[in-house]
A and B are shown apart, each in its own frame.
Chain A
Amino acid sequence: MSKERKLNIKVPVLARVEGAGALRIKIRQGRIKQAELDIFEPPRLFERLLIGRDYHEVPDMVARICGICPVAYQMSAVSALEGIFGLDPGARVRAMRRVFYCGEWMQSHALHIHLLALPDFLGFDSAPAMAKAYPDEVRRGLALQALGNDIIRLFGGRSVHPVGACVGGFHHTPDRPSVRQLLDKLQASLPQAEALLRWTAALDLPEDDQDFCSVSLTHPQDYPMIGERMVSSSGLDIGIEDFEDYVNEYQVPHSTALHALLHGETYLVGPLARMNLNQARLPPATRELLAECSIRFPSRNMYHSLIARAAEIHLALTEAIRLLEEDSDAQPLRVAPQVRAGTGFGASEAPRGLLYHRYEVTETGTIASARIVPPTSQNQARMEQDLVTSLENYGLQHAADALQLRAETVIRNYDPCISCATHFLRLRVEHD
């Protein structure tokens, strides 16, 4: 029966993802003939907008690319620019940038888990409907999200499009009473983060076994947030300056966002990839908590991304507490750069995965060229591959509505940020 089935699934506007995208799936003779994530949001041309601007404008400009992960854009940018200027901002700046980043992981992951992904797994068609049945869990998620925003606000001046980060460190140093007040809130929230991880690990998530290549940054001691080396589950280990030698971006007709391949193959970035590659670098408390749960990493189940996000919330909270407790005023939070010409590379682990920046700067500090490769672009080809595998594993004999929901669930599980991904359009003009 199913082999003769002809079915087209069209989702004109994907709900509960950031940005505007659609899905198109064609099933013929029991196989998926076409699975496309259509991205039609207009390109935003940020890389071109940066050209001609002064280097010190870059952190605030790139923060505007995304309302959810502005810290990631700022941190990748300042890393690249500091590389050009040969600037080491010092241990204190590095530690407080990590705290800043922890805030972003907490708010972004809490948002995705509770408002975007969980309704799929708990059988609700919207977050408000789910909130009526799970009010305490959603309140807990919103409290963790708000706490992440508090951290961003402490260093960034505001939680949305923060303006506190700069090349060399931060524009201002948070005062001690504010840090103490935040620390108290963070410490009081640890049981909430523990409960969230236990709860997500106990959820009845779909079974899904897939073969994919995980890619993330790596660090000798720490779970990676800002880094200089990139590794993969297939043995890659390169400096971030070699990123463009290995990752090939290309355009497909159905997307205004570029796709990316690593050595010609699709790959995964994001929380599951990070967890698969860096579980040994988790803080002991997070590692012990995960060990109590039945989920084991590395995992080939894409739906375990949800648990990886919950673990990263716990990690971020634990790390922020540790780093703020250890912080002292012995070193400044800003080091002045010595501007010089050159090309620099920066990468950090945005909530959705590896975010690569490259800048070329003139001797007066003007941006001559910029390249930004966001995580959603890198995951796009993998998402389409996942659609095919997941739907075929699920069973193409299911009703169209059920297949559509499963397809949307697959995409939402990646937490795609389409607004981030459509920052650039490669234009080729052909003349006769």
Chain B
Amino acid sequence: MTDTGTTAPAPVRIVGIGSAAGSDSLGWDAAERLLASGWAGRYPAGKLEISTCTTPAQLPAMLDGARLLLLIDALQDGSTPGSLHWLSANTLAAGSQASSHGLGVAEALGLIDALQGDAVEVVVLGISTGISDHGATGDTLLETAWPSLQTTLDEIIGQYLARDETASARYY
């Protein structure tokens, strides 16, 4: 699912991860909304790719040529439903004891770290579902998170592209 499609690998990847249904689909829904809204059009062609992923084990194989991974996932932590959280790898590792996937998100990120090291910068953004899966619908939660999600992504990608431009200018 490429938005600014070219054949060269895009350095910035946004991946919505989760299930296809229930509030665990928030990561998916966010990625699909980013695509459908044309939000990515503000960035130069070939810089950004948006996709979805159900199985964390697929994630490391999706990052060929990537330099910045922005992973969006649903977060069940009891915080305000629809609030956006910047998660560290340590937080994820602590909560990864019972993944229902062959390889959980924390392990997949551990694998990326082991293989790519500093070559890929990883940012995990969690959208809170509240305490449980019940209550607010995914649409409502995403609506709540949508403004801060766009702002946060813009901020992170903007900083990355500025750094990238500076590095390129220095190189040439």
Please list the residues of chain A having a beta carbon within 8 angstroms of any beta carbon in chain B.
13, 16-20, 41, 64, 67-68, 107, 111-112, 115-116, 126-129, 131-132, 135, 138-139, 142-143, 145-146, 149, 158-161, 181, 419
User: CB distance A111 to B110 under 8 Å?
Assistant: no
User: CB distance B102 to A18 under 8 Å?
Assistant: yes
Contact of A115 among B52, B64, B102 (CB under 8 A): B102
**Range for the number of chain B residues in contact with chain A:** 20 to 34
B57-80 interface bits toward A, Cβ cutoff 8 Å, 1 = contact, 0 = none? 110111010000000000000000
B3-42 interface bits toward A, Cβ cutoff 8 Å, 1 = contact, 0 = none? 0000100000000000010000000000000000000000
User: Of B93-101, B122-130, B143-151, B153-161, which stretch is located at the interface?
Assistant: B93-101
A24 to chain B, nearest CB (A): 17
A and B contact pairs by CB, cutoff 8 A, 14 listed: A13-B98, A18-B100, A67-B55, A115-B102, A126-B110, A127-B111, A128-B114, A129-B114, A131-B111, A138-B114, A146-B64, A158-B1, A158-B51, A419-B100
With A115-B103, A160-B54, A161-B20 as contacts: A145 and B111 at CB distance below 8 Å: no
Given A68-B102, A111-B58, A142-B61, 13 other A-B contacts at CB below 8 A?
Answer: A16-B102, A18-B100, A20-B98, A115-B111, A127-B107, A128-B107, A135-B115, A142-B115, A149-B58, A158-B1, A158-B51, A159-B58, A181-B7
A146 to B64, CA, bound (A): 9
A50 to chain B, nearest CB (A): 16
Contact of B97 among A13, A135, A143 (CB under 8 A): A13
Contacts of A64 in B (CB 8 A): 20
User: CB distance B103 to A116 under 8 Å?
Assistant: yes
Q: Which of B64, B100, B101, B102 has most A Cβ within 10 Å?
A: B102
A138 to B113, CA, bound (A): 13
B107 to chain A, nearest CB (A): 6
Across the two chains, which residue of chain A brings its CB closest to B1?
A158
- Is B120 among interface residues, defined by CB-CB distance under 8 A? no
Across the two chains, which residue of chain A brings its CB closest to B110?
A128
A149 to chain B, nearest CB (A): 6
Contact of A142 among B55, B60, B101 (CB under 8 A): B60
Across the two chains, which residue of chain A brings its CB closest to B19?
A67
Across the two chains, which residue of chain A brings its CB closest to B64?
A146
A17 to B52, CA, bound (A): 21
User: CB distance B115 to A139 under 8 Å?
Assistant: yes
User: CB distance A149 to B54 under 8 Å?
Assistant: no
- Is B92 among interface residues, defined by CB-CB distance under 8 A? no
Across the two chains, which residue of chain B brings its CB closest to A416?
B102
Across the two chains, which residue of chain B brings its CB closest to A133?
B114
A177 to chain B, nearest CB (A): 10
User: CB distance B58 to A131 under 8 Å?
Assistant: no
A64 to B21, CA, bound (A): 10
A421 to chain B, nearest CB (A): 13
Contact of B107 among A20, A126, A161 (CB under 8 A): A126
With A126-B110, A128-B111, A128-B114 as contacts: A19 and B100 at CB distance below 8 Å: yes
User: CB distance B102 to A17 under 8 Å?
Assistant: yes
Contacts of B58 in A (CB 8 A): 67, 107, 111, 145, 149, 159-160
With A128-B114, A158-B1 as contacts: A68 and B55 at CB distance below 8 Å: yes
A129 to B115, CA, bound (A): 10
A388 to B103, CA, bound (A): 26
Across the two chains, which residue of chain B brings its CB closest to A117?
B102
User: CB distance A135 to B114 under 8 Å?
Assistant: yes
A419 to B101, CA, bound (A): 9
With A131-B114, A146-B62 as contacts: A160 and B52 at CB distance below 8 Å: yes
Across the two chains, which residue of chain B brings its CB closest to A127?
B111
A210 to B45, CA, bound (A): 57
Across the two chains, which residue of chain B brings its CB closest to A116?
B102
Across the two chains, which residue of chain A brings its CB closest to B104?
A15
Contact of A132 among B20, B102, B114 (CB under 8 A): B114
User: CB distance B54 to A67 under 8 Å?
Assistant: yes
Contacts of B1 in A (CB 8 A): 158
Across the two chains, which residue of chain B brings its CB closest to A160?
B54
Contacts of A18 in B (CB 8 A): 55, 100-102
**What 5 A-B pairs come out closest when comparing CB atoms?**
A128-B110, A131-B114, A67-B54, A146-B61, A67-B55
Contacts of A139 in B (CB 8 A): 115
Contacts of B51 in A (CB 8 A): 158
Contacts of A419 in B (CB 8 A): 100
A137 to chain B, nearest CB (A): 11
Contacts of A112 in B (CB 8 A): 102
A115 to B103, CA, bound (A): 7
Contacts of A161 in B (CB 8 A): 20, 54
User: CB distance A138 to B61 under 8 Å?
Assistant: no
Contacts of A41 in B (CB 8 A): 100
User: CB distance B107 to A111 under 8 Å?
Assistant: no
A64 to B7, CA, bound (A): 28
Contacts of A126 in B (CB 8 A): 107, 110
A19 to B99, CA, bound (A): 8
A181 to B7, CA, bound (A): 10
Contacts of B113 in A (CB 8 A): 128
